[in-house]
Amino acid sequence: MYDICSMLTKKQKNLLLFINKKIRSTGISPSYEEMKNSLNLKSKSGIHRLISALEERGFVRRLAHKARALEVLKLPETASANDIYNSFSPSVIKGGLDTENSKKNINEIPVLGKIAAGTPIEAIQNEVSKISLPEELSNNGEHFGLKISGDSMIEAGINDGDTVIIKKTNTANNGQIVVALIDDHEAMLKRIRRKGKVVALESANKRYETKIFGPDRIKVQGVLVSLYRNFQ
């Protein structure tokens, strides 16, 4: 069976999407063993043939001087947002509901304003409100909230008007969604990738371009752990 838009077999497409997700989440290509297991193949020879086919069609390329390293050049037009992105699955805390859970909320954290693409750091330094959280979410380190403005992370399940819950830290793993401070001036909520001497800040919306920076220009302020959504 072929993907009409890209002329890939189902196995070729599934392998391509698996490789893409692995690279996006870890920064490195999956091993042949991982690829074999992901497709439930009996031998690695089938993976070699699939990769060769993807390479011939211009979807991937092998990186010289790096054993088994691959780079994804493009994805099928029929790939969904969930296929493309290593999605954050938000743990949503319902707001505005008088439930038993809300009565048990005993911890409060500050909400430090709204964050959008290129928010001046001054805009998120002062407390504008507080939100109550279940104890299990806030008893492990220091947290703060930020109100989301815009749709740049919508394909990661983060909507305009949500309040994201950020755990304070100055380190993050490849693929985590972070609050990143750029040049000590602008703050952004993006997915972070480090490759060599560059840092990429990715939106979760295909309409927004990935921004590339030198490592000395980016400071991680915290990582996303949950979000608060008002259903009223």
Distances, alpha carbon 126 to alpha carbons 113, 144, 150, 174, 192, in Å: 7, 11, 20, 29, 25
Categorize the per-residue pLDDT at 232 as very low, low, confident or very high, splitting at 50, 70 and 90.
Answer: low
The better pLDDT of the pair 83, 2 is held by: 83
Which tens digits make up the pLDDT trace of 66-94? 666 888 888 776 554 445 444 455 556 65
The better pLDDT of the pair 230, 101 is held by: 230
pTM (2 decimals)? 0.59
DSSP string, 76-127: -TT--HHHHS------EEEES---HHHHT--EEEEEEEEE-TTEEGGGGSS-
Which tens digits make up the pLDDT trace of 21-31? 777 666 678 88
pLDDT at 96: 43
Q: Which residues are the active-site residues?
A: 152, 190
pLDDT at 218: 94
Which tens digits make up the pLDDT trace of 166-190? 989 999 988 889 999 999 888 999 9
**Over residues 196-222, mean pLDDT:** 91
Residue 3 pLDDT > 70, yes or no?
no
Domains in the chain and their CATH numbers?
2-84 (1.10.10.10), 92-230 (2.10.109.10)
**Over residues 117-127, mean pLDDT:** 75
Kindly state the percentage of the chain with pLDDT values over 70. 76
Helix (H, G, I), strand (E, B) or coil at 47: helix
Categorize the per-residue pLDDT at 106 as very low, low, confident or very high, splitting at 50, 70 and 90.
Answer: low
Kindly state the percentage of the chain with pLDDT values over 90. 21
Residue 107 pLDDT > 90, yes or no?
no
Query: How far apart are alpha carbons 92 and 71 in whole angstroms?
Result: 34
pLDDT at 92: 60
150 touches 160 (CB < 8 A): yes
Please give the biggest Cα pair distance in the chain: 60
**Over residues 41-61, mean pLDDT:** 90
Query: How far apart are alpha carbons 150 and 230 in whole angstroms?
Result: 16
pLDDT at 91: 58
Name the amino acid, one letter, at 25. S
pLDDT at 101: 44
Point out the least confidently predicted range of 39-53, 68-82, 88-102: 88-102
